[in-house]
Amino acid sequence: MQVYRDLQQLPRFKNAVITIGTFDGVHYGHVHILQQLRKVAEDCKGESVVVTFDPHPREILFPQKSATRLLTTLDEKIELLSQHGIDHLVIVPFTKAFSELSAKEYLENFLVQVFNPHTIIIGYDHRFGHNREGGLPLLEAEQSRYGFQLVEIPQQVVDDLAVSSTKIRNSLIAGDVHLANELLGYPYFLQGTVVHGDKLGRTIGFPTANISLNDNRKLVPAKGVYAVDVLLGGQVFQGALNIGTRPTFDKLELRIEVYIFDFDREIYGESIRANFHAFLREDQKFNSVDSLVEQIKLDVENAKLYFADPYRQS
Ligand SMILES: Cc1cc2nc3c(=O)[nH]c(=O)nc-3n(C[C@H](O)[C@H](O)[C@H](O)COP(=O)(O)O)c2cc1C
Ligand SMILES: Nc1ncnc2c1ncn2[C@@H]1O[C@H](COP(=O)(O)OP(=O)(O)O)[C@@H](O)[C@H]1O
DSSP 66: P
When pLDDT is cut at 50, 70 and 90, the band that residue 74 belongs to is very high
Nearest ligand to residue 284 Cα: 1
Average pLDDT, the chain: 95
Q: Mark which of 101, 133, 167 sits at the end of a domain.
A: 167
Going from the Cα of 166 to the center of ligand 1, the distance in angstroms, rounded, reads 30
φ, ψ of residue 174 to 5 degrees: the values are: -95, 0
Q: For residue 58, is pLDDT > 90? A: no
Task: Indicate whether 155 and 294 sit together in one domain.
Answer: no
Task: Indicate whether 25 and 155 sit together in one domain.
Answer: yes
Which residues constitute the domain of residue 100?
2-167
Q: For residue 65, is pLDDT > 90? A: no
Nearest ligand to residue 194 Cα: 2
Distance between CA 210 and CA 224 in Å, rounded? 15
Is residue 175 domain-resident? no
45: left (phi over 0), alpha (psi -120 to 50) or beta: left
Task: Indicate whether 54 and 156 sit together in one domain.
Answer: yes
Q: β-strands 16-20, 117-123: how paired?
A: parallel
Q: Which atom of ligand 2 is nearest to the CA of 239?
A: 3
Question: Ligand 1: does its nearest atom lie under 6 Å from the Cβ of 298?
Answer: no
Helix (H), strand (E) at residue 134: none
Question: Ligand 2: does its nearest atom lie under 6 Å from the Cβ of 263?
Answer: yes
Task: Indicate whether 256 and 113 sit together in one domain.
Answer: no
Of 278, 280, 296, 277, nearest to 288 (Cα)? 296
Question: Ligand 1: does its nearest atom lie under 6 Å from the Cβ of 246?
Answer: yes
Q: For residue 44, is pLDDT > 90? A: yes
Distance between CA 32 and CA 123 in Å, rounded? 13
When pLDDT is cut at 50, 70 and 90, the band that residue 312 belongs to is confident
Task: Indicate whether 8 and 115 sit together in one domain.
Answer: yes
ipTM over 0.95: yes
- Say how many domains are in the chain: 2
Q: What pLDDT, in 10s, does the model give residues 129-188?
A: 998 999 999 999 999 999 999 999 999 999 999 899 999 999 999 999 999 999 999 999
pLDDT of the residue at 309: 87
Nearest ligand to residue 200 Cα: 1
Q: What is the CATH number of the domain that holds 45?
A: 3.40.50.620
Question: Ligand 2: does its nearest atom lie under 6 Å from the Cβ of 26?
Answer: no
When pLDDT is cut at 50, 70 and 90, the band that residue 62 belongs to is confident
Task: Indicate whether 140 and 195 sit together in one domain.
Answer: no
Is residue 54 domain-resident? yes
pLDDT of the residue at 64: 77
Mean per-residue pLDDT, 212-239: 97
Question: Ligand 1: does its nearest atom lie under 6 Å from the Cβ of 247?
Answer: yes
